[in-house]
Every structure is written in C-alpha cells, then in structure tokens.
Chains A and B, each alone.
Chain A
C-alpha cells in the first residue's frame, strides 16, 4: 500500500524567506502528484498537479518538482508572505485509481 510522508509536520519562517516543503512516497508507480493548500476548517485548494512524465510545474511563486524514481516531491515557495500560512498537503495517484494523502505540513509565515 502506498504511504505518503510529509516532513516537517510544522514550519515557521519569517516573511520574505524562501522555503521548501517535502513529500515522499513509498511506491514510485504513480500516475500523478498533486499539491494542495488547506486553510483551517476549510476544504482543499489545488496548487499544482504534476503528471508522472513531468519533472516540475510552476505557478507564480510556487514551484513543484517530482523525482518519481526516488519517490520524492518538493514544493518551493519563493518570497513567503503571511497569506501563505496554511497546511500544505501532497497526494499521489497510485494503483487502484486512488489518491493517497500525506498528513501535511503546517506553515506559519511570521510578519
């Protein structure tokens, strides 16, 4: 069974800093990987989707990379802002046509 791990569980950075969130998965046979943002008590907002054939995707200050063979993905956030404070979740689509989610990284950007 696919297992998805996100490290660290919580991260606190000063405003303006660049940061990297990590996601690892145990089974490299994935179809795609998706990064989400979740604000407290709210649903998930899709940030980036990387297909298994792709190495990275970019959207504004966000850049997500995928190294399928090593079972890793990173989400890079440039010039962090207080509005970036949220929990970031990664999910992989694996065999059985099912998304497997990590437990998330809770990010706090301090003004």
Chain B
C-alpha cells in the first residue's frame, strides 16, 4: 500500500463517546500533520509532528489529543466532542517539516451528534 491512508473514512459519534482517528504514511516521511476542513472555511492546521516530536499545536481544544508513536503513524484521539467539531479531518505528511511538499490522505468525515 502506498501514500497516506486514513481510517476510518467515516465516523459518527455522540458527544460522550471516545474514538480515535488513525493515519499511516508509507512514503518514508518524517513530518506528519492533522488538519480540519469545515464547510466554506479554509483548511485549519491542528498539529504538526516532526521526527515524532510535536512542533505545532495551533490552539486546539484539549478534547482533541494527538499521538505520534513513530514517524509512520499518527493518531487523533477524540473525547467529549461538540457538534461544531463535525468536519473532514485530513492527515498529511512531508519529508521533513513544512518546507517540503505535503501529501494528503483521503480524510475522515466526522459527524458529532
């Protein structure tokens, strides 16, 4: 399998649930990113990991908790979300930090009920 993969592709969760989004890249990259894409809004950067270390946390609420166990895997743990958190969550990777071309996964469509 090549490129950047994300699972699940669709997720519906209640506000009291706990779930996790998974991202895996098979490109040998060292930087990984989480973005949020809401309707009619620009993509918002959430988190950046470079060589497994978090280098950016863009004022994201604590109900979103990232985890990067190695350079190939990135998780986004979700708990007590709000309906306004419903969006497309995109994972991306690049060779190293943001100066290189970014490659995106297909996204997880999250609906919070």
Which residues on A are within 8 Å of B, measured CB to CB? 4, 31-32, 34, 36, 41-46, 49, 89, 91, 93, 96-103
Contacts and interface: CB of A to CB of B under 8 A. Distances in A.
B101 A34 contact: yes
B55 A97 contact: yes
A46 to B, nearest CB: 6
Interface of B: 4, 6, 40-43, 45, 48, 55-56, 58, 88, 90, 92, 97-99, 101-107, 109
A46 B101 contact: yes
Contacts of A93: 98-99
Nearest to A91: B43
Contacts of A89: 43
B90 A32 contact: no
Given A34-B102, A43-B106, A46-B101, 8 more contacts: A4-B42, A36-B104, A43-B4, A97-B48, A97-B56, A97-B97, A99-B43, A99-B98
